[in-house]
Amino acid sequence: MKLSVIIPIYNEEATLEELVNRVEAVSLPKELILVDDGSTDGTVDILRRWETESRAGMIVLHHPQNRGKGAAIATGLAHATGDLVIIQDADLEYDPQDYHKLVAAFDSPKQNVVYGSRNLRRNPRSSFSFYWGGRLLSWVTNWLYGLRITDEATCYKVFRTEALREIGVESTGFEFCPEVTAKALRRGWKIREVPISYHPRLWDEGKKIRWYDGLIAIWWLVKYRFKRVTSDE
């Protein structure tokens, strides 16, 4: 199956080239959809150079202003031509070689979504608060929706492309994660998890998510748990 790798980017000039090299090195049929979300650093120069080079299997899109991770993913999704879509942050926290096991987990036509879990194997932790904040989000998800997942907040969310288009992306920021999790669960889709590696970066290295994003995530999980679902949703 062809994999569409959507990479939302905001001020990642320090890691972007290495990250793209790692993604391109993965031996799977794929396309890279890079969405610059209004970067103000050298990220734009790197992307413009790649556009000039017309790199094979790469689509570069631009937001004139910063709109948020969810908005960048929605823009990328509109251009995806693969059978599967994976979200790839533009830092170096996640290892693209894990794509192999994530794609392999789609071993049934009924499997619409697979998550890569950082908690199903031993991995470094960025900080006490960040780690336990993520575990709290997983606990809230399990409590609200009656299941057992270990890493709701993982970046590596993989969907069948048409399934993700079916549920849609309404959010503009980091709340993309709880939104698509909640929508998938409301449809009765089973979220399958596979263990992945994780190399967290520190706050002074450019980590962007903040404590209040966790509160926003909880609100989205609660909101969709009790939202009335109409026949066309």
Q: Note the pLDDT tens digit of each residue in 147-169.
A: 889 999 999 999 999 999 999 99
The residue behind tokens 């596979």 is: 194
Per-residue confidence (pLDDT) for residue 211, from 0 to 100? 54
- 3-state SS of 108-131 is CCCCCEEEEECCCCCCCCCCHHHH
Q: How does pLDDT run across 117-144, given as a tens digit for each residue?
A: 999 988 877 665 666 566 788 888 889 9
Structure confidence at residue 135 (pLDDT):
78
Q: What is the pLDDT of residue 212?
A: 62
Task: Mark residue 54 as left, alpha or beta (left: phi above 0; alpha: psi -120 to 50; beta: remaining).
Answer: left
Q: Using CA atoms, how far apart are residues 223 and 157, in angstroms rounded to an integer?
A: 20
Give the pLDDT of residue 181.
94
The pTM assigned to this predicted structure is 0.88
Distances (CA, A) of 25 to 98, 162, 198, 218: 12, 26, 18, 36
How many other CB atoms are there within 10 angstroms of residue 125's CB atom?
12
**What does the chain come to in residues?**
233
Low-confidence ranges of the chain (pLDDT < 50): 206, 230-233
CA distance 130 to 229: 32
User: Rg of the Cα trace of the chain?
Assistant: 17
Domains recognised in the chain with CATH numbers:
3-225 (3.90.550.10)
